[in-house]
Amino acid sequence: MSVPIGIHDLSFATTEFVLPHAALAEYNGTDIGKYHVGIGQESMSVPAADEDIVTMGAAAAAPVIARHGTSRIRTVVFATESSIDQAKSAGVYVHSLLGLQPACRVVELKQACYGATAALQFAIGLVRRDLAQQVLVIASDVSKYELDSPGEATQGAAAVAMLVGADPALVRIEEPSGLFTADVMDFWRPNYREAALVDGQESINAYLQAVEGTWKDYAEQDGYPLEEFAAFVYHQPFTKMAYKAHRHLLDFCGTATDEDAIARALGQTTAYNTVIGNSYTASVYLGLAALLDQADDLTGRPVGLLSYGSGSVAEFFAGTVVAGYRGHLRTAANHEAIARRTPVDYVGYRALHERSFPADGGDHRAPAQTTGPFRLAGISGHKRLYEAR
């Protein structure tokens, strides 16, 4: 029998500031129900001027390092679609901030919101080659759309760090995986743009197409039948999309869409995304954290995970929750990461949204705003400068 491999530890971090959707609704005259009910969002995390994917990624990973040390980590895989450099991995900065050993490979992966699942699967392959090693997977993103655009209300920011290893303490990742790829222009961000472009209806259609495609492939490989899953965790560009996706899956499988059953299958997976917003690559794993933190005992129960990345690539797979997992959760820290955020008014949010460093290669310091453990100190000679607080 093969040694189980999966998620040994999971930690997340988000930003210094939070914008309540009530403030956005007041500014643009939208009925708050469009946000709270229509898309299922209550607030969005907003990065401080000295926060980015590196500071969030390092903050998410630091508790993992504190608990487990660095000696077994020989690979860091950083997944993001908010990359800060076309050549250098954001993970290299994190490697430095966390003091990881030099004998370590560090890479960055990109495929829209799907990248972290690719990183997780790659990590499992590396561990299978050498069961003594562990892989640090980091998913970190800032979701950013044009001001006053339809996508503005779905923004957010967060990072998830997962330690992947043999005999995991939280979730055993199972085979098979259902896979799907289609060339779709539903969401994209050219190199010359800071904000993403999105075709909202096309994106929903592409997501639902991917739900069908991944499940079809998963079922053809004799994965778990639908009724055996204790819960389903979906990528959540907005939380109501998870419900739309699950209803579509049930319809595709010819299963009754009982609303109470849907609520039981998904209800505990959306708590963190509802108040953080879309965190792209981190989103589905924030959903997993929310489920593990809130659910009754899931020991031995399979959980279905659907990871979707626009463009589009998707994967459906199962993770079985292992005995004793509750003793390894970070529930209090997760709640604190959300509660510690300082509310910002719409004017303050707008200023942060529009702020960027000059591209002239000069010395530009970042205002000291974050109270988190790491900050982006500034840019000098086109080089980003990070520091621990």
Active site residues: 81, 113, 235
Long-range pairs of 367-371 with CB within 8 A, sequence gap ≥ 24: 367/48, 367/49, 367/50, 368/50, 369/16, 369/48, 369/49, 369/50, 369/51, 370/15, 370/16, 370/48, 370/50, 370/51, 370/55, 371/16, 371/340
Tokens representing 339 are: 């509660």
Sequence-separated (6 or more) residues with CB below 8 Å from residue 91: 57, 76, 77, 78, 106, 107, 108, 138
Measured between its terminal Cα atoms, the distance across the chain in Å is 46
Rounded CA-CA distance 96/57 in Å is: 12
Q: How far is it, in rounded angstroms, from Cα 89 to Cα 28?
A: 38
Residue 173 parent element (H or E) = strand 171-181
d(CA 80, CA 274): 20
Question: H helices within the chain, ranges in order?
Answer: 21-28, 32-33, 53-68, 90-98, 115-129, 200-220, 239-252, 259-266, 271-276, 283-294, 331-339, 346-354
